[in-house]
Amino acid sequence: MGEIVLHNYFRSSTSYRVRIALEMKRLNYTYVAHHLRHGGQREPGYLSVNPQGLVPALVWEDGTMIAQSLAIVEFLDEVAPEPPLLPADPLGRARVRMLAQMVACDIHPVNNLRILNMLRTRFGADDAAVAEWFRHWVGETFAPMEKMLAESPQTGRFCHGDTPGLADICLVAQVANNGRFGVDMTPYPTISRIAANCMELPAFIKAAPRNQPDAE
C-alpha cells in the first residue's frame, strides 16, 4: 500500500496513541501536523482526505484512509502482529479493550478541545470551570479503573501482564493530557505506576508530544 502518512497534532492524545503503536511496531511514517487550535484540521484539503476533519488519520499513497485511533491501532496490530497489542485469549482481549475504551469512550470524548470550546462559547465557561469539568470526568473513570487494575491478578507491570498493549497506550496518552489540567494523580497509584513503566520504553518516549516536530 506504499508510504504511510499520519495526519496528527503533537498534543492530541488520540494522535499520541497511534504514534505509540507505530513506534512499537517499528513502522516508518510521514508526520503531517494540523494545528488544532488554529483549525488546521478543518481546511478543505484535509476534509477531502478525512471528511470528519479530525486527527489522527492514517493515509496511504493510493488514497486509502483510516480514521479513529482505536480502529487504526487494531489495524496496525492485525497487519504487523509483532509485538502484539492485545492478548491471545478472548477474555484477555476483552479486558484490554474494556480498559482502553474506558479512556477512549468515557474520558477523552467529553474532554477534548472541541467540547471544551463549546462549553466556553455556549455556556460561558471560564478556565476554572473548564478545568473542573475536565478533572471531574477523569475522576469518574480513573477511580473505578484504579480499583479494577489494583484488584485484578491480571494486572502486572502493565495493564494486562508484563507487556504493554492497547490499554497502556490509551492510559499513557490520558495521563499526559491530565498534566495540562492539574489532575491530582495521588489517588491513582496503580495507574501512575503503569504510566511510569511505559515511559521507560523507547516507543512511548519517541511518540510523546514534546518529541514531535510541531511541539511548542
Interface residues with a second copy (CB under 8 A) are 50-54, 64, 66-68, 70-72, 74-75, 78-79, 90-91, 93-95, 97-98, 100-102, 104-106, 108-110, 114-115, 118-119, 122-125, 129, 133, 136, 140-141, 143-145, 147-148
Cα separations in angstroms, 167 against 20, 140, 183 = 12, 17, 20
Residue closer to a second copy, measured from CB, 109 or 189: 109
**Which C-beta is closer to a second copy: that of 1 or that of 213?**
1
Closest CB to a second copy among residues 94, 215: 94
Q: Where are the alpha helices (DSSP H) in the chain?
A: 13-24, 44-47, 69-79, 90-106, 108-111, 113-123, 127-151, 166-178, 189-198, 202-207
If the CB atoms of residues 98 and 196 are measured against a second copy, the closer one turns out to be 98
Looking at the Cβ atoms of 128 and 202, the one nearer to a second copy is 128
| Alpha-carbon Rg for the chain in angstroms | 17
Least Å from the CB of residue 179 to a second copy: 22
Residue pointed to by grid coordinates 511518540: 207
Q: Tell the smallest beta-carbon distance from residue 43 to a second copy (Å).
A: 14
Q: Smallest gap, in angstroms, from Cβ of residue 202 to a second copy?
A: 26
Tell which residue, 211, 207, 214, has the closest CA to residue 14.
207
Can you tell me the distance from the alpha carbon of 8 to that of 185, in angstroms, rounded to the nearest whole number? 27
| Distances 31 to 6, 7, 40, 67, 207 between C-alpha atoms, Å | 5, 7, 14, 15, 11
